[in-house]
Structure 1
């Protein structure tokens, strides 16, 4: 894992820096670089407002220009806008692009459109979220979400020390691929089975801060003695912390999360939650563009799952878990 992560950071060049604009418009980019020639690529993200996907779009635009690639960036109107993503793919097919990169809102809902694209010789790669089945696309460049969840779980359990765990789990969307992998990975890292009595509460939050805060408030009323919280992402972690702080329980509870956005890393530095597991959206985009360029120029098409790495960020390291501190995190964060 460490070798993969170091390689990812080296290639990424640390372009996705803190403080990027949270509302990027649909954009096209192109240039006269040596690698891409007349290659055209479409990027379809879940939304164009989430900082994770804003970073993808910004990095894709910059990298496409460097490589001389024409880029068309489209997005759903909201997280879960499957129909919007299907329309975007159909539009890119009509444009005759060489490749499409997509972060699927629904792992199976876009399969028909993807099949149509591939039948016309368009290389399709998934970013961040795998399709179901995974081989519906040529390749996937993403965080190993099970491993990211496992790292969060292992850290939170180690941070509890000798305390008997009383765990609340703030999940994302029921049945989502990323949500399932992170949830299951956390339980493995934490050392619990599904349904263990140590899990004193569980709610879906759609990864939304306000929804997570409300869920945490309700769960705390039933289980005020909780000492550990799993969160699907950093907005959910912020919501959890707000509810916990309002009850005066911040010193009692260890919160873990996953994302690695600049705001989330700063939250860790400020002591709002103990650790986050950083992902590398810029690396997903760069590797996807490189793979499509190679295939378009007659090389081997991409295939399989490529793990773009994950790193635990904390200022309170625990024995047996590799991590970086928040100073490093703020130098390498996105959003």
Structure 2
């Protein structure tokens, strides 16, 4: 028995070290709006890769649909119970999620918003996101030149009322086009005051985008410029326009810059799109979570993760990159 004791002691020490290591492993939660949207699929990929690289444990969850605040609240509560000390979230409801965020923070959890700000933005410890107003301005500037002096008859396929990202992109587009527009702090859509012919909520969904475009064409068959909240909505709009035989007469601009969206730019479905970088957002969020676990240092304020205009055809006076560059960069780190 005495000869076995040293081996037993070694095994016990090894087990103890293993348990301690497991207990010290940073646990980070990622809550996206949905699991099906390619943008959030890519965000999860980025978070997973960074967590593996830094030795963190990643928990992930999502709402059932865009706007499912209850699902996100439940996910947050489950992650806290599972030991998450940092939670990354793309808020579906910028205001309704705040009580859950405050509850998490009161328990020592760092909460970081990705892609979408809360309302107010200061409710979270930090935000890693595209400058969505700038993204809108870029496609608005492009559309202004691409219209080549034609009188614009505009339809906007938006997200849903009151969402900061939807408002910032919509209003940025108006601003870039040279129309009356609220500033970046407003969550109200400025299309009515700017003279937009038709506005419809797409929820960022292709089918709803198609329905919205069909309704807008019934309201005003002369629509010749379409802004969409994202590329799935743009694809739906194009489908409706093609069915009506109007796809060659309408300029579509959008935001996101996913690989499928960039292919649509190359195919002429979308004239130009503002590309964002969800992999970068997620990787930065996970890195901040690991830093907090190690040092107790939290992030603070807003970090711009960049935006690039990708265009099928360059236009004078508006800086853009081509489709090849867009495909090389699509949703990855710059």
What TM-score do the two structures reach when normalised by structure 1? Answer: 0.86
How far, CA to CA, are the matches of 1:268 and 1:97 in structure 2? 40
How far, CA to CA, are the matches of 1:294 and 1:97 in structure 2? 14
Matched, 1:84 2:71: yes
Match of 1:173 in 2: 160
Q: Structure 1's 73 and 79: CA in aligned 2 closer, same or farther, altered over 3 A? A: same
Give 1:104 shift: 0.8
Matched, 1:274 2:271: yes
How far, CA to CA, are the matches of 1:101 and 1:203 in structure 2? 30
How far, CA to CA, are the matches of 2:202 and 2:85 in structure 1? 37
Q: Where do 1:81-120 residues align within 5 Å?
A: 81-120=68-107
Q: Could you list the runs of 4 or more consecutive aligned residues of structure 1 that deviate by over 4 angstroms after TM superposition?
A: none
Does the residue aligned with 1:323 lie in a helix, a strand or coil? coil
How far, CA to CA, are the matches of 2:299 and 2:217 in structure 1? 47
Q: Is the 8 A contact 2:30 2:61 kept in 1?
A: yes
Match of 1:201 in 2: 198
How far, CA to CA, are the matches of 1:324 and 1:197 in structure 2? 29
Does the residue aligned with 1:168 lie in a helix, a strand or coil? strand
Does the residue aligned with 2:198 lie in a helix, a strand or coil? strand
Please list every run of 5 or more consecutive structure 2 residues that lacks an aligned counterpart in the other structure.
1-23, 181-189
Matched, 1:152 2:139: yes
Please list every run of 5 or more consecutive structure 1 residues that lacks an aligned counterpart in the other structure.
1-36
For residues 196-250 of structure 1, the C-alpha deviation after alignment (integer angstroms, 9 at most, x for no partner) is 5752211112122112212212222332222211111111111111111222222
303-312 vs 206-215, which deviates more?
Answer: 206-215
Match of 2:44 in 1: 57
What TM-score do the two structures reach when normalised by structure 2? Answer: 0.86
Does the residue aligned with 1:192 lie in a helix, a strand or coil? coil
Give 1:62 shift: 1.4
Which of the pair has more CA radius of gyration? 2
Q: Is the 8 A contact 1:165 1:198 kept in 2?
A: no
Q: Where do 1:24-63 residues align within 5 Å?
A: 38-63=25-50
Q: How many residues align?
A: 301
How far, CA to CA, are the matches of 1:50 and 1:151 in structure 2? 23
More helix by share: 2
How far, CA to CA, are the matches of 2:84 and 2:215 in structure 1? 49
Matched, 1:296 2:283: no
Q: Root-mean-square deviation (CA), in Å?
A: 1.8
Q: Is the 8 A contact 2:113 2:128 kept in 1?
A: yes
How far, CA to CA, are the matches of 1:84 and 1:218 in structure 2? 31
Match of 1:137 in 2: 124
Residue from 53, 62, 74 that aligns with 1:75: 62
How far, CA to CA, are the matches of 1:49 and 1:124 in structure 2? 23
| Bigger RCO of structures 1 and 2 (CA < 8 A, at least 6 apart) | 1
Match of 2:53 in 1: 66
How far, CA to CA, are the matches of 1:189 and 1:197 in structure 2? 12
Matched, 1:162 2:159: no
Matched, 1:241 2:238: yes
Match of 2:256 in 1: 259
Does the residue aligned with 2:162 lie in a helix, a strand or coil? coil
Q: Structure 1's 96 and 183: CA in aligned 2 closer, same or farther, altered over 3 A? A: same
Does the residue aligned with 2:295 lie in a helix, a strand or coil? coil
